[in-house]
Structure formats: structure tokens, C-alpha cells
Structure 1
Amino acid sequence: MSEELTNDANDTDRVSRLSTASPDSAAADAVVREYEERYRGPREEKPKRREIPRSYSTLRVTDDEKLWAAVAHGSIWITAIISVITVGTLVPVSVFIPLVIYFLFRKRSDYVAFHALQAFVLQLFGTIGAFLLLVVGGTVWAVGLVIALLLMVVLIGFILVPVWGLVGIALLLATALMPLASLLYGTIATIETYNGRDYRYPFISRWVDRQLAGGFLNIV
């Protein structure tokens, strides 16, 4: 009986020693991990799957869809004419023409919805964007000009005033070119979409594509 108790105690002690990692074993594991990180680099996590923008095939686009897409892009001419006649007072109304077309077709035609939203963003860029650039940039330029004039007391202003004048000219040119560039791109897009081609604005089209594929506009 005593021998069996002794054997059980020995077995328990042996299992305890086997199940408990020795300090040498833990140190060896640490060395192995350090070696792997040093020569193989840390383990890289797999990147999250990105939303893939939807494609808008023109193979099955009807003539009606082509027409409405062209109307959305061509409405920039309505905005341009209204801005000249009303001195810009009705521009905040006319720029929403493409957005109305978008809401009319967003569940009926991906092609029209995509191009209408492109046209809306372009008109915002060419009108309200140009206006904000003129107001904010003009304010900053005016403050800078006052500072440059005050610095003429210490002579450095004689250098800053001409330089700041060139900055003002560049600001005016940028403000004037934004509507003209928008009108040019809108005209090209009108012709292209009317002929059944999937025209995409630089930068704008990619953002619109992502919004329609997995962004806020896809769930509204």
C-alpha cells in the first residue's frame, strides 16, 4: 500500500515538472521570437477589404438615360447664363438641377445617377467653391496687404508689397478659372454622355463612385 502511494506521488511530481515550463525553455522561446522578428519582420495583418467602386456599363444604356445624363451635365450652361443675368443671385437654385435628376433616377438608373451626381459636384466646385475662394482668400489677402504696408516702416514692406500683389493676381486668376474650367468639363461631359460614353471628371468621379458604392449616398 505504501509503495502505491509512493508511486502516485512520484507520478504527480513528474507530471508537474513536465507541465511547467522551465526557465531555460521560456528563454529559448524568447530567443526564437526575437530571431523571427529581427530577420523576418513583424507579422503583417491582412489589410481590410476596401469597397470596390461600381462600374457603369454603357452597353445597355437606353437613349432616355443618355439624354438625362447629358441634361444633368449640360445644366451647367443654365447656371452660367443665370449667373450672368441675375449677377449670381439665382445660382444657389440652378446648381441643384443635377441633384434633382439624381434623386429622380437613383433607383432607376445607376448610369444617370452617377453622372447627375458628378455634374452636381462640378457645379458646386465652379460656383460656390469659387465664391468661397474669393471671399476667404480675398480676406486673407487684404489682411496680408495691410501687414505688408505697415512693414514698409522697416523697409521689408517694400519687398512684401509687390510680392503680395502678385499673390492677389494669382488669386483672382484662380477664382476666374474655376467657373471656366467647370464649364469646359461640363460641355465635354454633355457631348460624351449624349453619345453613350461614360465620361468621368478628374478626381470628382472617383469620390462619387465611392459614395455610390459604399458611402452615405448608397444608404440614403
Structure 2
Amino acid sequence: MSEQVTTSQDERTLAALAHGSILLGLFSNGIGGIVTALVIWAVHRNKSTYVAYHALQALVYQVATFLLTMLAWCCWGLLWTLMILGPMVGNPGAYDTTPPAGLWVGMAFMVVPLGIWALTILYALWGAVRCLGGHEFKVAVIGDWVEAQ
């Protein structure tokens, strides 16, 4: 786990930037980090295998987590809609003054997509810290696939 990698500080910084660029997604609907990792990979794919490997890992990871997070939000939205509309369609007059209980349950379930989103960001930031410190970092599943490319 504490395997040191022999690379220059610039290479470590670029690799960390590729992983850390997931934070740009917070301000760009997830696309900023993907574009940043793609640009770093495109510019350095023939210059540094270390930077190219980490940028490609970050790119694939960010695309995968973007899709996973969107799927989680869509499932949550569908569930929440069903929890609200189901009772309202069945007995619309009962909810003139108070919302259906599903409204509050659905709000509580919002923690699931938010948690997935937060964990994916923290994992990418862990990768950035590992790279910046000169340690090897391989994204689970994705790292092996990128290595085989």
C-alpha cells in the first residue's frame, strides 16, 4: 500500500490533478472533471506513461461515477414521485392541507444518491493525495482495465 513510485514532481502533480479534477464536476454538472482528465490524458499520453495511466484512470472513473450518480438520482426521483403521486391519485382530497407521508420518506431517501456522490468524490481525492505523495494508486476494477489497454 505504501509502494513509492519513481516519478518527477510534475508527473505526480499532473496525475493528482487528473484525479482531483472530479471537484470541477461540482461546478459543471460533472463534465468539468471529465474534460480536464481527458485533456491531461490527450496531452501527456505520449510523454509520460505515469501521467497518461492516471489521467485515463481518472477519466474512466469520472465517467463511470457520473453515470452511476445520475442513475441513483433517477431512481430516487422515480421512487419519490411514486411515493407522492400514488396516494394523491388514490385520494386527492386527503392532501389539501398536508402532503403525503411519502414526501418526507422520499426526502430521507435523498441521502442515498448524495452519499454515493460524496463517496465517489472522496475516493478520487484519495487517489489525488496518493499520486501527489508519490505512492501508487490503482482505481478498483478500472485500474486493471486501464493497465491492460
TM over 0.5: yes
RMSD: 3.0
Please name the residue that 1:63 is paired with: 9
Q: Which structure would you say has the larger Rg?
A: 1
Please name the residue that 1:77 is paired with: 23
Contact 1:72 1:101 in 2 (8 A): yes
- Distance change >3 Å, CA 189–CA 208, structure 1 → 2: closer
What is the distance in 2 between the residues matched to 1:166 and 1:197?
43
Please name the residue that 1:113 is paired with: 52
State whether structure 2 residue 145 is matched by structure 1 residue 210: yes
Calculate percent identity across the aligned residue pairs: 24
What is the distance in 1 between the residues matched to 2:119 and 2:63?
12
Please name the residue that 2:82 is paired with: 143
Structure 2 counterpart of 1:188, from 126, 136, 147: 126
Contact 2:22 2:32 in 1 (8 A): no
Structure 2: runs of 5 or more not aligned: 92-99
Q: Higher relative contact order at CA 8 Å, sep ≥6: structure 1 or structure 2?
A: 2
Contact 1:77 1:183 in 2 (8 A): yes
Please name the residue that 1:134 is paired with: 73
Which runs of structure 2 are paired with 1:1-220 in the superposition (5 Å)? 59-80=5-26, 82-83=27-28, 88=29, 91-148=30-87, 166=105, 169-170=108-109, 172-201=110-139, 205-213=140-148, 218=149
Q: How many residues get paired?
A: 139
- TM-score by length of structure 1 reads 0.50
- Distance change >3 Å, CA 59–CA 93, structure 1 → 2: closer
